[in-house]
Amino acid sequence: MASRPAKRRPATEIALATFLALAACGGKPHEDELDTGRQPTGENDPDRIAGLVLASLEQMTVAAEAHVDDCKAMADDLLVVFDRVRPVFDKVETLRQDPERERALTAALKRYDAEAQALANRMTAALEHCQLDPAVGDAMAKMPVIR
């Protein structure tokens, strides 16, 4: 007899949905993503921004893992990290306004799919103990996301 999968709790659902949304950012790939023409540099470079998104996800995960037995501290630390990394997610949203930049960013983010999934798994595990804590739920509701 197969057992029923455990029902996910709010904080865990938010984290998993966010990480999965990041992996799927921008929709399906386009044929022109392989264009090797001139690429943006500096603060608008899709590869740089994708790396910053992954680093942000890692910071979020480490903050949750650091406080698995102290939900209040987890919530507080997550809020600090969310505020610190929010500019990265704001930059992503700005770049996504331009279809060409969105395609380039999507391609850059896809290179990090495996790492993002591993971080999602780690964060989900870290949130497990605090999944029903109101402070953690409130903090997770403030998590920056890519829409």
Average pLDDT estimate for 14-32:
48
- The mean pLDDT value for 66-89 works out to 97
| Range 23-36 average pLDDT | 41
> pLDDT: is 146 or 48 the higher one?
48
pTM of the model: 0.75
| Over residues 117-128, mean pLDDT | 94
For residue 134, what are the CA distances in angstroms to 23, 69, 98, 138? 27, 15, 38, 6
Residue 21 has a pLDDT of 54
Q: Closest Cα to residue 50, out of 91, 97, 20?
A: 91
pLDDT in tens, 32-52: 433 434 444 577 899 999 999
Q: Contact 70/11 with Cβ under 8 angstroms?
A: no
